[in-house]
Chains A and B, each alone.
Chain A
Amino acid sequence: ETGVTQTPRHLVMGMTNKKSLKCEQHLGHNAMYWYKQSAKKPLELMFVYSLEERVENNSVPSRFSPECPNSSHLFLHLHTLQPEDSALYLCASSQDPTGGVSDTQYFGPGTRLTVL
């Protein structure tokens, strides 16, 4: 596979469930990101990992827990979510760990999450 892949593509869960989203990048990049996109709203940054170290946490509730075991994999662990957490969750990666807009980010297809 090439690029950035995400699984599952669709997920429906109850508020008491625990689930995990997975992201894998095949580009040899050093930084990985989680974004959230709610209906008709701009993308919102959630977390940034650079060289497997979390370097940004954009005031995300603790019911979202990221994990980056190596530079190619990124997980988002979900527990006791709320219906307003329903959204498209996007993973991205980039080459340069110092980041910046000049550093192109490559996005995965996203996971469409519905919380009942």
Chain B
Amino acid sequence: LAKTTQPISMDSYEGQEVNITCSHNNIATNDYITWYQQFPSQGPRFIIQGYKTKVTNEVASLFIPADRKSSTLSLPRVSLSDTAVYYCLVGGDTGRRALTFGSGTRLQVQP
């Protein structure tokens, strides 16, 4: 799987938009970009996945530039409950079944 680099931590306030950028310079042609969210003492939860351009769901948006060497997870109007660790994963349907998690970005939302 391609190596990813994310900020270790970020701080925000309730109601703000939060953008977490992930670098993946070695992304391969068939790789997808997937983001997971993990609360303390819980399992990670799938947030969003994309291949190129922009993907939006009820939770977040994922922006992927044309060169696909980075991606940005956008959380609109965060609340205290969005405080969690966010993981960026990059990989393709290569037959390897498991996910390789990095250290993630710890987002702290303040009131």
| Chain A residues engaging chain B, CB cutoff 8 angstroms | 4, 31, 33, 35, 42-43, 45, 48, 50, 55-56, 58, 88, 90-92, 94, 97-110, 112
Contacts and interface: CB of A to CB of B under 8 A. Distances in A.
Contacts of A35: 98
26 contacts: A4-B43, A35-B98, A42-B102, A42-B103, A42-B104, A45-B99, A45-B100, A48-B97, A48-B98, A90-B43, A98-B93, A100-B95, A100-B97, A101-B49, A101-B89, A101-B91, A101-B99, A102-B34, A103-B97, A104-B46, A106-B46, A107-B45, A109-B41, A110-B41, A110-B42, A112-B41
Contacts of A101: 1, 31-32, 34, 49, 89-93, 99
Nearest to B104: A42
A106 B36 CA distance: 10
Nearest to A43: B101
Interface string B27-65: 000011010000001111110010000000000000000
A32 B54 CA distance: 30
Q: When A and B form their complex, which 5 residue pairs have the shortest distance between CB atoms, in order from nearest?
A: A107-B43, A99-B97, A101-B91, A100-B93, A45-B98
Give the interface size bracket for B toward A.
Answer: 20 to 34
Chain B interface, DSSP helix/strand/loop, else mixed: loop
Contacts of B100: 45
Interface string B82-111: 000000011111111111111110000000
Given A42-B104, A100-B91, A102-B93, 4 more contacts: A56-B98, A92-B43, A100-B94, A101-B32
Contacts of A91: 43
